[in-house]
Structure 1
Amino acid sequence: MAKLLFLQNMDYEFVGPMYISSMIKNHGHECELEIGHETKDFEEIIQQFSPDIIGFSVMSGSHNWGRKIAKKLKKKYDIVTLFGGAHPTFFPEFIKEEGIDYLIRGEGEESVLEILNAIDQNKSFKNTPNLSYIDSEGKSKHNPIRNLRKNMDDYPYPDRQLYQTLDKKQHRQVRNVITSRGCPFHCSFCFEDAMRDLYKGKGKYVRIRDIDKVIDECIELKKNTPVEVIYFADDVFGMNRSWLYEFLERYKREVDLPFICLVRADLVAADKEYAFNLAKGGCQSVFFGIESGNEDLRNQVLKKKLNDEQIVLAAELLHEAGITFRTYNILGLPDETLEDAFSTVELNIKIKADYPWCSIFSPFPGTELSDYAMQKGYLSPTFSVEELDKSFFLSSQLKLPHKKELQNLQKFFQTAVLWPWTFPLIKQVIKLPPNFFFRAWFGIIYFFVYIKSEKRNFWETFKFAIKNYKHVLVKE
């Protein structure tokens, strides 16, 4: 049978590779994963496992690392390289890079299985849907996208054994589960609209799993791993209220593990029982996006469709239910003034955000908001994905009047929200030039907010942070 080896450079369990691994293993193929940073970190497993394909699941930013490793390994071992994930999906011209043989765009379970079946039968797989490659004439070839699988529960449960290499390094008490795929909202800074366009006419985009299957997966996870907290990693958890309330009742009775999830403030505010039902089901913490404290900017530019009243009410209901919450915020947005940025801090203070989180706007080409930034002159019309920072915590790439202050404010955002008495001082400090000490302070506060919001073990997360801090605080 054919063999697939995933390589990645972060000590983290991603759901995508686990779904692909379970799919191909259920059909008799083999799959393993190794985590490392340099080519030497992967040589032993390549020699022992002898894979037919080396796979990379990459986002924009990590694609540079994947490209570098693929190029070196291909020269040494002449193994087929296959890239999937968000970056190849939205930037298929990535196929032109040296060392990259094939891309899979969109959902990859069935296409990867088709490829391995063809390899096993010594047949060509170049007609596989979702596949991109360079043809014999040197032209980029992008195959049609296959229909979305209507029933997500046709897929086997994610292969939790795939990340056994992490078990040797970490006590992973928080594990990811998804109950749905797809998001029905249209935020201008997100790729969801581009994904919907990719799958236009290919089936229902938002799909919610059967309650029985999700409960069964959680029970298996509880039996077979040292899980203590489940993170429901949906784009928006519990979009269907009747599904959610039935699920929560059964989850508490049959699984009875604390969980965390991502919601929307308007969903919480729309039903006073929403937060209390989450709490009764075992929810410890939720995450939701505010993005900007300026309501006009949030709704007219970001297309969030979320007003201040809903945010404030959601916070009140969550506090009453005993659920802590993380807020997502963005600074350095197109049309944002320094006063707008201050209002984002002030709104987080007002709602007493337990775990404020803030990034600098990252202008991913192809999103509506990045197109808007180009039209308004904040961003060069020739800006490309290769110019993006690998981290959205470092600097802004927009031409903004108060760029220095906005970059610095992001470093002190969490401090200002958690200790409001510091905010007047921070307004003065951000006038200084950006520097290492600001980044270091941000790293320390970010670490403590992260472990508390995601219920992580301190020492395990500390080791992870030391090993992976470059992904957040250091430019390429």
Structure 2
Amino acid sequence: MAKLLFLQNLDYEFLGPMYISSMLKDHGHECELAIGQTFEDFEERIEKFQPDLVGFSIMSGSHYWGKNLAGKIKEKYGIKNIFGGAHPTFFKEFIEEPEVDYLVRGEGEETMKEIMDRIDGNECFHNTPNLSFSQNNEKTHNPLRNLRPDLDEYPFPDRSLYNDLDKLGERKVRNVITSRGCPFHCSFCFEDAMRDMYKGKGKYVRIREIDRAIEECKRLLAETNAEIIYFADDVFGMKKQWLYDFLEVYKKEVNVEFICLVRADIVASDEQYAYKLAEAGCKSVFFGIESGNEQLRNKVLKKQLTDDQILKAAKLLHDVGITFRTYNIVGLPDETLEDAFSTVELNIKIKADYPWCSIFSPFPGTELTDYAFNKGYLGKEFDYDSLDKSFFLETKLEIPHKREIQNLQKFFQTAVLWPWTYPLIKRLIKLPSNVIFRAWFGFIYFLVYIKSEKRNFWETFKFAIKNYKHVLVKE
């Protein structure tokens, strides 16, 4: 049968490759995954497995690593490559890179199954939906297939794909999704662009049946050492009645701690929401604030979220003993230094347990990136290859107070967790950026991460030592 070998450079379990792997294995194909950094790291696995294709699931920033590795593999072994994930989905021009053979845009399970079926039958697969390729200097982008309306028709994700990670230590937090798609229209998020791509091709937001999601949770606990479930939906429990029914069954039949992503306005809309989460075993939630300036948050970022809703959600979560991580962004188009300070101050006001802050990265396909181009924050010479694999390093925008904002990001968590440091931080950010600022950020980021996601300290420490370059080092 046909063979696919996924390659990635981060010691982390991603659901996308696992769903594709389970789909392929259910139809008789073989799929494996290898983790490494350099070409030499993968040679033994490639020679042993002899894949028909090597696959990469990539975000913007890691695409540069992927295409270089793919080129070396093709040169030595003659094995073609296929790229999926956010970067090729929203930047189909990636197919113009000479190292790149194929792109899968959008959801990939059925497309990869069709491709592997045709490889197995020694047939051409160039007319497969969602596929982009280059042939005789002609670039072809096939139309997207309709979305599968029932997510429960897909097999459960193949957890065995990441068995190599078990050698690195305990993995007690595991991801599950109960839905795909997001109904909101935030300008900085790829979900809005994805929804537009799939317009007319089926219902975009799809929620799984409760019984099927519960069955996956129980199987996960039975087959792995998981102790905590992280519901990685874009928004967990978008439909309150579905959520309340799910939580009742979850408490009875699964009954382990869980973490989830929510929206502050949904939490604030019903005082029972936070209570029911806590009652079912939720210990921590994550939600986005993005900016402390309400006008910027709603007019430019289109978050549609008020300060009052954020304040109320924080109070309700604190009242029931649920800690929360806040997502924030600095270095935004139209943002002033005072706006960035207001983001720090709002997080201090709500006593965010686990503040998190990135620097805006102009990912292709998002409305906010187009806005940055139109407003002159990004020049025509801007190249997506210049994007860093980390969104914690520097801004690509030409904005006032660039240095101060970049430095503020490094001290954001410190200022929120220990507000007495805030006046000093306002002075420190005027200094030139330096390795001490980055090292301090890395240390605090590590502490916040292990607490917010209930990770084991020493296992996470080993992970951080091995992967710190993805956060703190420029490509």
TM-score bin, normalised by smaller chain: over 0.9
* Equivalent in the alignment of 2:70: 70
Describe the superposition over 1:365-393 as per-residue Cα deviations: whole angstroms up to 9, x where unpaired.
33211222222222213423122222110
Conservation of the 8 A alpha-carbon contact between 1:188 and 1:369: yes
Using the aligned pairs only, state the percent identity. 72
Describe the superposition over 1:262-317 as per-residue Cα deviations: whole angstroms up to 9, x where unpaired.
10000000000000000011101000000111101111111000000000000000
Q: Does 1:215 align with 2:214?
A: yes
* Equivalent in the alignment of 2:404: 405
Q: Letter of the aligned partner of 1:89 in structure 2?
A: T
Conservation of the 8 A alpha-carbon contact between 2:91 and 2:364: no
The answer to which of 219-228 and 332-341 deviates more is 332-341
Q: Which aligned pairs between 1:288-303 and structure 2 lie closer than 5 A?
A: 288-303=287-302
* Equivalent in the alignment of 2:169: 170
* Equivalent in the alignment of 2:416: 417
Q: Whole-Å Cα distance in 2 between the matches of residues 91 and 313 of structure 1?
A: 39
Q: Whole-Å Cα distance in 2 between the matches of residues 357 and 107 of structure 1?
A: 28
* Equivalent in the alignment of 2:33: 33
Conservation of the 8 A alpha-carbon contact between 1:128 and 1:143: yes
Describe the superposition over 1:125-159 as per-residue Cα deviations: whole angstroms up to 9, x where unpaired.
11110011112x31110111000000000000000
Q: Whole-Å Cα distance in 2 between the matches of residues 391 and 356 of structure 1?
A: 17
Describe the superposition over 1:22-71 as per-residue Cα deviations: whole angstroms up to 9, x where unpaired.
00100111111000111111111111111111111111111111101100
Q: Whole-Å Cα distance in 2 between the matches of residues 322 and 13 of structure 1?
A: 29
* Equivalent in the alignment of 1:265: 264
TM-score, length basis structure 2: 0.99
* Equivalent in the alignment of 1:460: 459
Q: Does 1:57 align with 2:64?
A: no
SS at match of 1:33: strand
* Equivalent in the alignment of 2:277: 278
Q: Letter of the aligned partner of 1:360 in structure 2?
A: I
Q: Whole-Å Cα distance in 1 between the matches of residues 207 and 161 of structure 2?
A: 24
SS at match of 1:330: strand
Q: Letter of the aligned partner of 2:178 in structure 1?
A: T
The answer to which of 192-201 and 223-232 deviates more is 192-201
Q: Letter of the aligned partner of 1:326 in structure 2?
A: R
Structure 1 segments, 4+ long, off by >6 Å, are none
Q: Letter of the aligned partner of 1:15 in structure 2?
A: L
* Equivalent in the alignment of 1:348: 347
How many correspondences in the alignment?
475
Describe the superposition over 1:102-131 as per-residue Cα deviations: whole angstroms up to 9, x where unpaired.
111000000100011111111111111001
How far 1:420 sits from its partner (Å)? Answer: 0.4
* Equivalent in the alignment of 1:251: 250
* Equivalent in the alignment of 2:312: 313
Describe the superposition over 1:326-358 as per-residue Cα deviations: whole angstroms up to 9, x where unpaired.
000011111111111111111000000000000
The answer to which of 161-170 and 440-449 deviates more is 161-170
Q: Whole-Å Cα distance in 1 between the matches of residues 329 and 416 of structure 2?
A: 14
Unaligned runs of 5+ in 1: none
SS at match of 1:168: helix
SS at match of 1:475: coil
Q: Whole-Å Cα distance in 2 between the matches of residues 384 and 80 of structure 1?
A: 25
Q: Whole-Å Cα distance in 2 between the matches of residues 160 and 99 of structure 1?
A: 30
Q: Letter of the aligned partner of 1:109 in structure 2?
A: E
* Equivalent in the alignment of 1:181: 180
Conservation of the 8 A alpha-carbon contact between 1:365 and 1:384: no
Q: Whole-Å Cα distance in 2 between the matches of residues 43 and 390 of structure 1?
A: 24
Q: Which aligned pairs between 1:440-459 and structure 2 lie closer than 5 A?
A: 440-459=439-458
Q: Whole-Å Cα distance in 1 between the matches of residues 227 and 353 of structure 2?
A: 21
Q: Which aligned pairs between 1:38-117 and structure 2 lie closer than 5 A?
A: 38-117=38-117
Q: Letter of the aligned partner of 2:455 in structure 1?
A: R
Q: Which aligned pairs between 1:1-20 and structure 2 lie closer than 5 A?
A: 1-20=1-20
Q: Letter of the aligned partner of 2:314 in structure 1?
A: A
Q: Whole-Å Cα distance in 2 between the matches of residues 198 and 344 of structure 1?
A: 32
Conservation of the 8 A alpha-carbon contact between 1:365 and 1:383: no
Describe the superposition over 1:202-229 as per-residue Cα deviations: whole angstroms up to 9, x where unpaired.
0000000110010000000000100011
Q: Letter of the aligned partner of 1:248 in structure 2?
A: L
* Equivalent in the alignment of 2:130: 130
Q: Whole-Å Cα distance in 1 between the matches of residues 337 and 99 of structure 2?
A: 44
SS at match of 1:455: coil
Unaligned runs of 5+ in 2: none
* Equivalent in the alignment of 1:430: 429
RMSD after superposition? 0.8
Q: Whole-Å Cα distance in 1 between the matches of residues 196 and 349 of structure 2?
A: 38
Conservation of the 8 A alpha-carbon contact between 2:193 and 2:367: no
Q: Whole-Å Cα distance in 2 between the matches of residues 95 and 307 of structure 1?
A: 41
Q: Whole-Å Cα distance in 1 between the matches of residues 250 and 357 of structure 2?
A: 32
* Equivalent in the alignment of 2:144: 145
* Equivalent in the alignment of 2:236: 237
TM-score, length basis structure 1: 0.99
